[in-house]
Amino acid sequence: MSTKTRRSYTAVFKEEAVRLVRESGHPVTQVARDLGIADHLLYRWRAEQQQAEERGQTRQSLQAEQTELAQLRRENAVLKQERDFLKRAAAFFARESQ
């Protein structure tokens, strides 16, 4: 059974690919085929670039912000679970001591 390795692309490559789509006037599928990448990647990179430009940021800073936000949300969920557990434990022990 063959194992596929995930290819990773540099930020410069992604930016250049998006720039090529914008400046060439060719369809995304054609540019993706010429670059040897899947067209859905190029669509996603283009959307990320547009979103970053709308916010006045770079793709890297936007991705770092989104990664941090996801991490904080996970941490917040864990803290809420711990808080709820401690509330139930305190209520249990308060009942037991009476």
DSSP per position, the chain: ---PPPP---HHHHHHHHHHHHHH---HHHHHHHHTS-HHHHHHHHHHHHHHHHHT--HHHHHHHHHHHHHHHHHHHHHHHHHHHHHHHHHHHHHHH-
Q: Specify the pTM.
A: 0.63
pLDDT of residue 4: 77
Distance between CA atoms of 16 and 19, rounded to whole angstroms? 5
Q: Decide if pLDDT at 76 tops 70.
A: yes
How many residues can be counted in the chain?
Answer: 98
Domain boundaries, the chain: 8-56, 60-98
Query: When comparing pLDDT for 97 and 67, which is higher?
Result: 67
pLDDT of residue 62: 83
Per-residue pLDDT tens for 40-71?
Answer: 999 999 998 888 888 888 888 888 888 999 99
